[in-house]
Structure 1
Amino acid sequence: PVALALSLLTLGAACRLLASFEVGPAGFQFQEQVIWYEPWGVSYHLGVDGISLLMVLLTAFLFPIALLASTAITHRVKGYFASMLFLEAGILGVFVALDLLVFFAFWEVMLVPMYFIIGMWGGERRVYAAVKFFLFTALGSALMLAGILALALLAGDQLGRPTFDFVELLGIDLGRTAQFWMFGAFALSFGIKVPLFPLHTWLPDAHVEAPTAGSVILAGVLLKMGAYGLIRFNLTLFPEASVDLMPVLAALAVIGIIYGAVVATVQTDIKRLVAYSSVSHLGFVVLGIFALTTQGLQGGVVQMVNHGLTTGALFLLVGMIYERRHTRRIADYGGLATVMPVFAGIFLFISLGSIGLPPLNGFVGEFLVLLGAYLSLPGFAVAAVLGVVLAAVYLLWAYQRMFTGPITVEANRGLRDLGFREVVLLAPIVALVLLLGIFPKPALDRVGPAVQGILDRIEATTDYVVPQFGTEAGLPEAEVRP
C-alpha cells in the first residue's frame, strides 16, 4: 500500500506537470539548479521539454499498474516494492536531468534495482538473465562515462573550467573527429539499452525471466531511456556526427525491425515472442530519430509512448494467463476465446494497436516514422514496411493459435476469465491506446517545439537541410533541383 500510494502521488505530480506545461515555446521548463561543486561544473540541474514530459508521464502512468500487477510476489515483498520505487526514481531522474553527471548517476541508480528484480523475483534462469543484463548495461555505462568525461574536459579547454551542464555544453565547439568518437561512445551505450541490433541479445532473456511487473517496466520505460538518450545527447551535442552516421544508424534500425519481426514469428513461447517484437518496434523508433526529419523524429517520440502502452499491456496479459496455466508455450493453448472472451477481446485489441491498425495508437507513430524516413532515406522506409507486415503476421498468427478454434487441451476448459482487478488494470491502457490513435494532437503539440529545436540546431551547425515535401533530402537549399 505504501509503494502504491507513493507511485500514485508521483502520477499526480506528473499530471500537475502536464497541466502547467506551456505548449509552444521551445526549451526547458520547470528548471531547478543547485550548484554541487563549482570547480568541476557539477550541478543538480533538472528540467523538462515536450519530449521528456511524455517520458515522465509514461513512467508515472505505468508504475502504479505494474505495482498492482505484482500479486504473484510472495517472498521478500518489502524488498521487491522498495526496488520498484528506487527503479522509478532512477528512471524519472534520467528523463529530467540536465547535467550529464547527474544523468549518469540516475542511469546507474536504475541498474541496481532492475538487476535485483530480475535476479531475485524472476524465473528459473533469473540469475543468468540478471547477470547478462547487468554486464551489458555496465559496459554501456563505462562507455558513456568515458564520453561524458571527455566532453567535460574539452569544454574546460574552451571555457577555462570543466562543465557537465547540458545547456552550457551546447555552446561548445567540437571538431568533427571529437564528435565522431564521442557520438560512438554515447550511441553504443544507448544502443545497448534500446536495444539496437546487434546489441539486443540481453533483452529476450531479461524479459522472459523477469516477473510480470518487471517485464512491463522493462519494455514500457527502460528501453525508452536509450532512445531518449540518442535524441537528447547524440543529436544535439554531436550534430555533425549525427548527419554523417545517419545512414549507418538507420540501416541498423531497419535490420532490427526485420530481424526482430522474423525471429518473433518463429517463437513458440508467447513471452519471448513479445520480447522480440520490442526489438522490431524500437527499430522503428531509431529509424524515426535518424531520419532527421520533423515527421520522423515526432513519430519516433510518439512511438516510444505507443510501444510502452501496447507492449506493457501484452506483458500484463501474458502474465495473467501464465498465473492460470503456468505455461507460456503457444501450443499449450487454443480455443481460449470460448472460455475467456474478455481476455481474448482485450488481447486482440492490444495486438491490433501494436500492429498499427488505424485508428489505434500504433498507426500514428509508425505512419509518421515511415513518412519522415521516406523524405530523407526512401530506400530504408520501403524496407521498414516489411516490418509492419511481419508484425501483423506474428501477432495475428499467435492470436489464431491461442484463441480461435476448439479447445484442444483439457486443462484450458476450466480457465476463468479476467476478474474485476485485472480489467481495472488494463482499462486505462486500453483507453489510451484508442485515445492516442484518434486524438494524437495533444502529444504532437507538446513534442513539436522540442523536435523543431533539435532540427534547427542541426541545420545551424551543419550543411544538412531538413527535407520537406518538394525538396531533396539533405541537400543545401541552393542545390535543390526542381
Structure 2
Amino acid sequence: MPWVSTVILIPLVTALVLAFVPARERRAARGIALAGSLLALAASIVVLALFDRDLAVLQQVDHLDWIPAAGVSWDVGVDGISIWLVLLTTVVFTLGVILACQRLPQQHGTIFLSLIMLAEAGLLGLFTAGDLVLFYVSWEFMLIPFALLIWNWGGAGRRSAGLIFVAYTMVGSLLMLVAIVATGILAMDHTGELSFLMRDLAGVPFGEATATVLLAGFLLAFAIKIPLWPFHGWLPRVYSQAPIVVTILLAAVMSKAGVYGLLRVGVPIFPEGVGNLLIPVAILALIGIVYGSLLAWRAPTMRLLVGYSSVAHLGFIVLGIIVIDRMAAQGAVLQMINHGIVAAAAFVIVMLLARGTGTEDIDRLGGLAKGAPRLAVAFLFVTMAALALPGSNTFVGEFFILGGVFDQYAWMAVIAMIGVIYAAVYMLRMYQGTMNGPPRGVQDGGRAAEMTARDAIVLVPLILMMAWIAVWPNSIVAPTRASTDLALAPAQIALERPIDQIGVLPDRAAIDPRWMP
C-alpha cells in the first residue's frame, strides 16, 4: 500500500469534505477534522514502523509520472531526515486540531478547520517530496491556507499581517521557482532528459559559479520561511496577529520547511556552491542567534518572546547544517524536532495564561504559580527545555551543534554560545515574571489560568515527548545518521574534507564518478 501518499491524501480529503460541511454543523465538523488528523497520525506511525533505519536513500517511494512532457513526477518517500518531520507534523497538527475544536471561531468554523487540514497536507507533501516541482507546489500550497487563516481570523491587524506574510514569502518563492526551472534545464546536458527528481539532480556537476547562483535562489526562499535574520520582518506581526493555534503551527512545523530544504535540496544538489555561501550564511545565522536572543530578552509580550526565541533557535539549526559537519548536522536534525515540540508547548502555555488573565504582557502579570500550580510545573519543564538545561531534550541537540561547529570553525561556536547564555536570561525572565512574586494582574490569584483536563490533552503529550527524547535521544538520532551523511557527502567532497561515512558513496558513485574519493 502507498502509505506515504496516504499520509498526504488523508488531510487533503478531510479538508475537501470539511469545505462542504454547512457552517451550522459545528459538531460534525469537529468530528471530521479530529478523525482526519488522527487517521493521518496513524498512517504516519505505519510509515515509521516500515522505515529501515539502515538505508540512507529515499524509501517507501510512491512514483507516478505526473506531467511526463515536463519531467514532473509525483515522487514521494521518506528517509532518516524526513521521517521524523512527517511524524512531528501529524502530531502537532492533531493537537492543533484539538485546540481549534476547543476554540472554534463562531464565523465559518468549518472553513477554519478545512484550511488547517490543507496546510497539513501541504507540509506533508513538502517533507516527502522527491521531485523539485512537487516540492515547490507543496511549498506554495501550504502558504495559501496559512495566509487565509491569518487574514480572516487574526487580530485587529490581521489584514496587514496577512499581506506582509504573503509578500515576504512570494518574493522568495518566485526566486526559487526560477532556480528550479533553471536547475532542470541545465541538468539536461548531464541527465539526457528533463527531470526534476532530486536523486537525479544530486549527481549533476553544475560548476561552481552556476551552483552558487542556483543555491542562492533557493537559500533566499528558505531564509524567509525559517525565518533567518534579516528576513524575519514578517515574524513579529504575523505571530502576534495570527490566531494562537495558527501561531503554534507556524512556529512548530512551518518554520522547519526552510531548514529542511537547506539540508534536503541546497547542500546535496549544489555542493559546489556551498563553499562560496558557507561563511555568509553562517554569519547570518550567528547574527540571528544573538539578535533574536536580544529581542526575546526585551520582548513586551509572551508571544513575541517565544517568537523571537525561535529566530535564535532556528539560527542554531541553520548553523549546524551549513558548516557541513556530521555531528553538527545530526544535532540540527534532532533540534528541528526538539524545537517543534518545545515551541508548540510554549505557545500553548502562552495561550492558557492569556485566557486566564486576559493579557500576554509579561510586566502586567506575576505570582500565578500559587493559583495555577499544575500550569506552573508544566511551564517550568518547558522553560528548562527551552534553555537547553543539561538533562533536557534540547541539550543533546545543542551540544551536537556546538561541538560540530567548534570542530570546523571555533570562532563561530564562541559567538553562538552567547545565544545559550541569553536563552536562560529571557526564558527565566518570562517564567519568573509571570509565575513568581506576589499575585499581579489577576483577581483570583491565577486560578483561571490553571491547566484543566481539556488543556492537559494538548500539553501533556508534548511534555511526554520532551521527556522521551531527553531520556533516549538516540531513538531520534540513530535513524537520521545514514541520510544525514548522504546529504553532506557531496559538500564534504567539494570542500575537500574527509568523508565521514564511506558506506554511502557507492550509491553516488553509480550516478557520477566524481563521488569516488
The answer, yes or no, to whether TM exceeds 0.5 is: yes
Match of 1:423 in 2: 456
Any residues of structure 2 matched to 1:459-474 within 5 Å, and which? 459-465=492-498
Match of 1:30 in 2: 60
Matched, 1:78 2:104: no
Preserved contact between residue 288 and residue 369 of structure 1 (Cα < 8 Å): yes
Among candidates 35, 38, 41, match of residue 11 of structure 1: 41
Question: How far did residue 463 of structure 1 move?
Answer: 2.2
Q: Secondary structure at the match of 1:465?
A: coil
Matched, 1:457 2:487: no
Match of 1:67 in 2: 97
1:104 partner amino acid:
Y
Q: Secondary structure at the match of 1:32?
A: strand
Match of 2:259 in 1: 227
Match of 1:386 in 2: 418
Among candidates 201, 208, 211, match of residue 243 of structure 2: 211
Any residues of structure 2 matched to 1:435-454 within 5 Å, and which? 435-454=468-487
Structure 1, residues 185-241: CA drift from partner, whole Å, max 9, x if none? 000010101111100111121111111210111001000000000001110011121
Which whole-Å CA distance do the structure 1 matches of 2:177 and 2:225 have between them?
15
The answer to which of 336-345 and 404-413 deviates more is 404-413
Preserved contact between residue 316 and residue 332 of structure 2 (Cα < 8 Å): yes
1:288 partner amino acid:
G
Match of 2:282 in 1: 250
Which whole-Å CA distance do the structure 2 matches of 1:206 and 1:410 have between them?
27
1:143 partner amino acid:
L
Question: How far did residue 462 of structure 1 move?
Answer: 4.7
Match of 1:47 in 2: 77
Which whole-Å CA distance do the structure 1 matches of 2:83 and 2:191 have between them?
31
Match of 1:279 in 2: 311
Which whole-Å CA distance do the structure 2 matches of 1:34 and 1:84 have between them?
27
Matched, 1:329 2:361: yes
Question: How far did residue 133 of structure 1 move?
Answer: 0.6
The answer to which of 241-250 and 409-418 deviates more is 409-418
Question: How far did residue 343 of structure 1 move?
Answer: 0.8
Preserved contact between residue 191 and residue 200 of structure 2 (Cα < 8 Å): no
Which whole-Å CA distance do the structure 1 matches of 2:499 and 2:388 have between them?
26
Q: Secondary structure at the match of 1:342?
A: helix
Q: Secondary structure at the match of 1:262?
A: helix
Among candidates 120, 131, 152, match of residue 88 of structure 1: 120
Match of 1:307 in 2: 339
Go from structure 1 to structure 2 and tell me whether the alpha carbon gap of 1:249 and 1:6 turns closer, same or farther (over 3 Å shift): same
Preserved contact between residue 356 and residue 446 of structure 2 (Cα < 8 Å): no
Go from structure 1 to structure 2 and tell me whether the alpha carbon gap of 1:269 and 1:412 turns closer, same or farther (over 3 Å shift): farther
Preserved contact between residue 88 and residue 337 of structure 2 (Cα < 8 Å): yes
Structure 1, residues 254-274: CA drift from partner, whole Å, max 9, x if none? 110010001110111111111
Preserved contact between residue 291 and residue 312 of structure 2 (Cα < 8 Å): yes
Q: Secondary structure at the match of 1:339?
A: coil
Which whole-Å CA distance do the structure 2 matches of 1:434 and 1:241 have between them?
39
Match of 1:364 in 2: 396
Q: Secondary structure at the match of 2:126?
A: helix
Preserved contact between residue 268 and residue 489 of structure 2 (Cα < 8 Å): no
Matched, 1:114 2:146: yes
Which whole-Å CA distance do the structure 2 matches of 1:456 and 1:233 have between them?
13
Which whole-Å CA distance do the structure 1 matches of 2:288 and 2:479 have between them?
29
Matched, 1:266 2:292: no
The answer to which of 236-245 and 6-15 deviates more is 236-245
Q: Secondary structure at the match of 2:211?
A: helix
Question: How far did residue 291 of structure 1 move?
Answer: 1.8
Which whole-Å CA distance do the structure 2 matches of 1:291 and 1:158 have between them?
28
Structure 1, residues 346-399: CA drift from partner, whole Å, max 9, x if none? 111101101101211110111100001001111000110110110000010111
Which whole-Å CA distance do the structure 1 matches of 2:273 and 2:370 have between them?
55
Matched, 1:194 2:226: yes
Match of 2:514 in 1: none
Question: How far did residue 466 of structure 1 move?
Answer: 5.5
Matched, 1:152 2:184: yes
Match of 2:7 in 1: none
The answer to which of 275-284 and 318-327 deviates more is 318-327
Among candidates 195, 213, 227, match of residue 181 of structure 1: 213
1:366 partner amino acid:
E
Structure 1, residues 314-370: CA drift from partner, whole Å, max 9, x if none? 111111121222211112210000101111111111011011012111101111000
Q: Secondary structure at the match of 1:411?
A: coil
Match of 1:127 in 2: 159
1:323 partner amino acid:
R
Which whole-Å CA distance do the structure 2 matches of 1:87 and 1:349 have between them?
29
Number of equivalent positions: 468
Q: Secondary structure at the match of 1:74?
A: coil
Match of 1:288 in 2: 320
Which whole-Å CA distance do the structure 2 matches of 1:462 and 1:367 have between them?
24
TM-score after normalising by structure 1:
0.95
Q: Secondary structure at the match of 1:171?
A: coil
Percent of pairs identical after alignment? 36
Question: How far did residue 461 of structure 1 move?
Answer: 4.5
Which whole-Å CA distance do the structure 2 matches of 1:128 and 1:347 have between them?
32
Question: How far did residue 39 of structure 1 move?
Answer: 2.6
2:458 partner amino acid:
L
Structure 1, residues 91-118: CA drift from partner, whole Å, max 9, x if none? 0000001111111111111010000111
Preserved contact between residue 336 and residue 412 of structure 1 (Cα < 8 Å): no
Match of 2:507 in 1: none
2:478 partner amino acid:
D
Q: Secondary structure at the match of 2:447?
A: coil
Which whole-Å CA distance do the structure 1 matches of 2:358 and 2:411 have between them?
44
1:425 partner amino acid:
V
1:19 partner amino acid:
A
Question: How far did residue 74 of structure 1 move?
Answer: 2.4
Which whole-Å CA distance do the structure 1 matches of 2:333 and 2:216 have between them?
22
1:67 partner amino acid:
V
Which whole-Å CA distance do the structure 2 matches of 1:410 and 1:276 have between them?
26
Q: Secondary structure at the match of 1:140?
A: helix
Structure 1, residues 409-466: CA drift from partner, whole Å, max 9, x if none? 3435263311101012111110111110110111111110011112222234452336
Segments of structure 2 that go 5 or more residues without pairing to the other structure are 1-30, 502-517
Which whole-Å CA distance do the structure 2 matches of 1:221 and 1:234 have between them?
19
Match of 1:411 in 2: 443
Match of 2:374 in 1: 342
